[in-house]
Every structure is written in C-alpha cells, then in structure tokens.
Amino acid sequence: MILFLVMILAGCMAETSSPNPEGLTFASWNVQTFFDGVEAGNEYDEFRESRGWTPEKYQARLVAFGNAVEKMPAPDIFVLIEVENTGVLQDLIAGPLKNQQYRYSFFGVNAGFSQGIGILSRFPFTETKIHSLTGASGTTPRPMVEVRIERNEAPVVLFACHWKSKLGDAATTELLRRDSARILVRRLRELYAEDPNIPVVIMGDLNENYDEFYRSGILTAILPDDEAAAELAQDHDNFLIISDQKPPVSSNFPPEFPVLYSPWGNELTGGSYVYRDQWETIDHILLSAGCFDTIQWDFDSCEVLNQEPFASNAGIPVAYNPRTGNGLSDHLPLFLRFKFSFP
C-alpha cells in the first residue's frame, strides 16, 4: 500500500479571535452534494443544467445554508463534507458566513472524484496534509484531510474524513473503509511517537455505525473494545478501536493499538442519518486520550443538532432536493466543545 500526501490549498490571513476565549469549538456536517452553479462535467445528474440545476439555485442554497448556520452555535473550526470545490468554500466565506470570521480554509479531493472535504477555521493551520491510499482492494475514493491548529502554543490535530459508502458489494466496501482506518492508525502512531499526549480529533462521515461490529458480526473498520472483536482482529491492523471511557483505554487490545473515545451511546444518542426508517450513527466524533488533559485542551461536551432547521418537527434530517431547492442535508451536524484548561 502507498500513502500519498498532497497539499491542495491553505489560506493565510490575519488571525482573528474566537467568540469563546475559554474554549475551542468544532462542527462537522455532511452537507449532501453541495455543487456550485457551473457545470464542469463531473456533477451528479440532478446537478446538471439539463435537469434544471441553475446558478440561481446554487445561490439560493448558499443563502439557506447561511440562514441555518445562524441557528447553530458558531464553531471555530467547521468541517464540511461533500463540497464540490474550493469555490464553494470561498462563496460561503464571502457570502452567508462573512460575519462568522472564517479567515482560513483548506480543501481536499481525490483526482477524478466530484466531491471533497472543506475545513473553515478562525485560526491558522500550522500544518496541512491530505491522505489517500491505493491498495489491493482499490483506491479510497475520498481523501482524509489533516490539519494542525495551535492556540497559546497548545496544538490540536484534526482529521476530517469521508469514508467509502456501503453502496456496492458489502465485502469490498468494508475493505475500503478498513483501508481508510489503516491510514489513521498509521498517522496516529506517528503523532503519538512525537507527542504521546497530542489531542487528536477525528470528525466526519465514516459510513459505519459505532456499533457496526455488533450489527454485522464481521471485522469492521470501527471495533469496540470487546473481547470477541479483539479475538477476531488478531493479525490485522486496519481498524479503529473505540471506547466509552474518558480518557479512552483498552482492556482487550494490545497497547500498541490506538484507542479513541466515541460519544455515541453516551453524550450522543439517536443518530445523525436515517436509512430505511432506522437511525444510523455514521457521522462521528472520535477523541484521543490527549483530549482529556486538564492542563491543555479538555473535552467539554458534544451534541447532535437535531432541531429545526436541520431536522423536521420529528427530528429527521431535512434532505436537500435539487429539483425544488428545499431542505438542507440528509445528515445532521455534530458539534464539539473543548474547555480552555491552561494554568
């Protein structure tokens, strides 16, 4: 397997201040195929001019997005999944989000793929990377974006992810998600070798439930700290171990395997996506042990934004309809808060 690191775009402007000087906030949202108003040939069919997609509909969607964001706590770092290009990020910053003070942006997309990952930030990035992987099971179709942000000389590393969906052969798609997990495991070990206490945040759409192992009974890309999972995972290295303990520790896996805290089933309940009338927990916040350090960054809280306008009265995501221009996204945003715990 070959690991590719490609720098795509990093913006640099004068630093701005956070509305919350005693903390740091993150949001992650799969915004459901946010295409611009220019047809370039790589769009999905419903976003082509022949199907009624227009620049005016794109502009209206920008406005609707901005109106929705005004109803949520303003995050310092905003991860946007399924964005077509850097132009969409810049249109958001210059238009509906111009009062949110996002002075920095970073975007990553794999060659030939029509959607990418964007990150908006109030603080500068001190390091940026894009990870993609080609292996025996194919090329991971979506990149993982890594950025490092520092405040008061205290770093936090963010991975923004969009893993392979379950569309297609189940065994093949699971292998691709496990390939993506392998990238993260490798990078976590490299980061921990430099600083064992580095706070690491993983956010995005992993297309896998936090309890996928129990649902499927097979070796999945996300595994619980469970004896049966540990037994099945022997001689493998392409999965993330999640724990419900704060800070995360493992009782069943060897110490060389990184363990991450998942708030699903604890702070986060219900789900962020609905499939066949059932809640799914495929959007994630995963935190390293360094996120529970009371002398630097310290985890405070997180939530699913399951209220209007992101959700209906019944709490279901209001999917975007490109034909009518109604709705926002078929996913709900996740919000994360850190406390500023310096002496």
pTM for this prediction: 0.92
pLDDT one digit per residue (tens) for the chain, 343 residues: 333 333 334 333 333 344 455 789 999 999 999 999 999 988 999 999 999 999 999 999 999 999 999 999 889 999 999 999 999 999 999 999 999 999 999 999 887 788 999 999 999 999 999 998 766 555 666 789 999 998 878 899 999 999 999 988 888 899 889 989 999 999 999 999 999 999 999 999 999 999 999 999 889 999 999 999 999 998 788 999 999 999 999 999 998 899 999 999 999 999 999 999 999 999 999 999 999 976 788 999 999 999 999 999 999 999 999 999 999 999 999 999 999 876 5
Quote the pLDDT of residue 136.
59
| CA 242 to centroid of chain Cα atoms | 16
User: In sequence order, what are the beta bridge partners of 11?
Assistant: none
CB 316 within 8 A of CB 274: yes
- 291: which DSSP letter? G
Quote the pLDDT of residue 3.
36
What span, in angstroms and rounded, lies between the C-alpha atoms of 146 and 120?
13
User: Angle at the Cα of 198 (from 195 to 203), degrees rounded to 5?
Assistant: 140
Q: Is the peptide bond before 309 cis (omega within 30 degrees of 0)?
A: yes
DSSP string of 29-79?
A: EEEEEE--SS--S-S-GGGSGGGT--HHHHHHHHHHHHHHHTTS---SEEE
Which among 301, 305, 333 is positioned nearest to 23, based on CA atoms?
301
What span, in angstroms and rounded, lies between the C-alpha atoms of 9 and 97?
19
| Residue 319, token pair as written in the block | 């999917």
CA-to-CA separations, 44 to 48, 52, 75, 82, in angstroms, rounded: 7, 12, 30, 12
H or E element at residue 242: strand 240-243
Domain ranges of the chain: 2-14+22-340
2-14+22-340 in CATH: which number? 3.60.10.10
Q: Torsion angle, CA of 285/209/135/5, rounded to 10 degrees?
A: -10
